[in-house]
């Protein structure tokens, strides 16, 4: 068997085009564009690139840009004040605090200050609770991107055996809850899981979100399974996923590449979340 390779760039481009149309329609109805406030603290080059990419994508979709860059020496109170200011600004639909924040600041505490209705990263305690209880709310972007890819390739989720490797608050847990919401039977694995390969090999849908280069091989994969590789690992040979791509492609039915799989989806779903937040603020459902 040779897997169909999931084209994350194409799916992300479709989502971004849809968001662009939604933004234009919302501008007509609400009289103003949705706005995204990106908050960058310090001068970490990778974070600066991530934020720049998000702002560029927003501009392309017609979303208003409310960027704030604070110096590395900013205090917890300084960053908290900027978050509170954005919470109270009706022109700001979504707020994104770029993580990690510099040493000395508490990123979790700062994230928790974001108004859950503007929490376009879906990382506040309130957003996590809403997801767990199946209440309406904003969901984390990368997990949403994973589900969008599966839906785009018509992968049946109801009753499917899904195995998620990784249990972070950012990816593993929320993707597991999103798929539980879709009536999959979800198993979550982590560093203490026994017989990992055997557990993974039960999966109709296998999601790797670990951050260990090519740790998932063909032994972990049921023939014909859909395999989604969230991992991004920087190696001497360039970016690699958590999945041994060439070997797993011989066994899986569907497979995401790295790069070009889940990666492009994260920003696309951030844009969509910003539109959802703007709609909610405008009293639309």
- Chain positions contacting ligand NDP, by CB under 6 A: 142, 165-168, 170-172, 189-193, 196, 209-212, 230-233, 262-263, 266
CB closer to ligand NDP out of 35 and 261: 261
CB-based contacts of 152: which residues, under 8 Å, 6+ apart?
A: 6, 11, 14
Write a three-state SS string for 140-164: CHHHHHHHHHHHHCCCCCCCCEEEE
Strand pairing partners for 39? 68, 97
CB closer to ligand NDP out of 120 and 230: 230
> Is position 54 annotated as part of the catalytic site?
yes
In the complex, the smallest distance separating the C-beta of residue 93 from ligand NDP, rounded to whole angstroms, is: 22
In the complex, the smallest distance separating the C-beta of residue 276 from ligand NDP, rounded to whole angstroms, is: 19
In the complex, the smallest distance separating the C-beta of residue 232 from ligand NDP, rounded to whole angstroms, is: 4
Of 22, 54, 173, 222, catalytic: 54
Of 115, 117, 119, 121, catalytic: 121
CB closer to ligand NDP out of 103 and 192: 192
Helix or strand (DSSP H, E) at 4: strand 4-5
Write a three-state SS string for 212-247: CCCCECHHHCCCCCEEEECCCEEECCEEECCECHHH
CB closer to ligand NDP out of 165 and 278: 165
CB-based contacts of 125: which residues, under 8 Å, 6+ apart?
A: 112
Of 22, 98, 204, 240, catalytic: 98
In the complex, the smallest distance separating the C-beta of residue 146 from ligand NDP, rounded to whole angstroms, is: 9
Strand pairing partners for 235? 238
Separation CA 233–CA 252 (nearest Å): 21
Q: Which residues are catalytic?
A: 54, 98, 121
């Amino acid at each position: 068997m040779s897997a169909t390779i999931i084209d994350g760039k194409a799916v992300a481009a479709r989502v971004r085009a849809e968001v662009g149309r939604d933004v234009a329609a919302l501008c007509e109805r609400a009289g103003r564009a949705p706005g995204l406030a990106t908050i960058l603290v310090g001068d970490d080059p990778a974070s600066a690139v991530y934020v720049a990419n998000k702002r560029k994508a927003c501009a392309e979709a017609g979303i208003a840009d409310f960027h704030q860059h604070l110096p590395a020496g900013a205090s917890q109170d300084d960053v908290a004040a900027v978050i509170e200011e954005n919470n109270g600004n009706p022109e700001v639909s979504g707020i994104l605090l770029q993580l990690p924040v510099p040493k000395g600041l508490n990123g979790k505490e700062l994230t928790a200050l974001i108004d859950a209705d503007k929490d376009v990263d879906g990382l506040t305690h309130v957003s996590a609770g809403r997801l767990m209880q199946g209440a309406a709310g904003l969901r984390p972007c990368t997990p949403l991107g994973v589900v969008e890819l599966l839906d785009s390739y018509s992968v049946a989720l109801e009753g499917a055996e899904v195995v998620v490797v990784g249990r972070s608050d950012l990816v593993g847990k929320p993707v597991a809850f999103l798929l539980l919401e879709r009536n999959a039977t979800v198993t979550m694995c982590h560093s203490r899981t026994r017989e990992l390969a055997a557990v993974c090999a039960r999966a109709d849908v296998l999601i790797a979100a670990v951050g260990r280069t090519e740790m998932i091989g063909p032994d972990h994969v049921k023939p014909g399974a859909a395999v989604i590789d969230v991992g991004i690992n920087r190696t001497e040979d360039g970016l690699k996923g958590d999945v041994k791509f060439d070997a797993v492609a011989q066994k899986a039915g569907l497979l995401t590449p790295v790069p070009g799989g889940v990666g492009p989806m994260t920003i696309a779903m951030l844009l969509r979340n910003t539109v959802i937040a703007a709609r909610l603020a405008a009293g639309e459902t």
